[in-house]
């Protein structure tokens, strides 16, 4: 991973009453987001939670998605105008409330 790039992490907390439609997420939401963000989006990773740190424990996040950009400005310029449309689709695949963190990759 290139040092200095921007990583936007979207974390979907799990829980007893949380539903997450992975098929819809992978085949509809993510391609839609990729199209909306365009060339500013440099990459995407999606991780499905399978366990917490202790053996047999529940994963704290059902899904963790990371999207990558060259600069914070490129994220803001691509996501900002599309934010309402992207966020409006969340109810189509989950009832989890996503947590977002923006980070700079340092290593």
pLDDT tens, the chain, 107 aa long: 677 899 999 999 999 899 999 999 999 999 999 999 999 999 999 999 999 999 999 999 999 999 999 999 999 999 999 999 999 999 999 999 999 999 999 98
Phi, psi of 47 (to 5 degrees): -120, 135
- Beta-sheet strands, E only, within the chain: 6-13, 43-48, 61-69, 99-104
For residue 41, the model assigns a pLDDT of 97
Residues 56/60/65/67 CA torsion (nearest 10 deg): -130
C-alpha to C-alpha distance for 41 and 35, rounded to whole angstroms:
9
For residue 2, the model assigns a pLDDT of 74
Residue 54: other Cβ atoms inside 10 A: 7
Q: What is the pTM of this model?
A: 0.92
Phi, psi of 11 (to 5 degrees): -110, 125
């Amino acid at each position: 991973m290139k040092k200095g790039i921007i990583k936007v992490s979207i974390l979907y907390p799990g829980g007893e009453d949380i539903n997450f439609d992975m098929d819809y997420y992978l085949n509809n939401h993510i391609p839609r987001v990729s199209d909306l963000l365009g060339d500013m989006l440099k990459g995407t990773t999606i991780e499905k939670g399978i366990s917490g740190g202790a053996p047999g424990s529940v994963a704290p996040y059902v899904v963790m998605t990371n999207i990558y950009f060259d600069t914070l400005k490129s994220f803001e310029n691509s996501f900002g105008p599309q934010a309402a449309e992207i966020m409006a689709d969340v109810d189509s695949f989950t009832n989890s409330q996503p947590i977002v963190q923006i980070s700079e990759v340092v290593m």
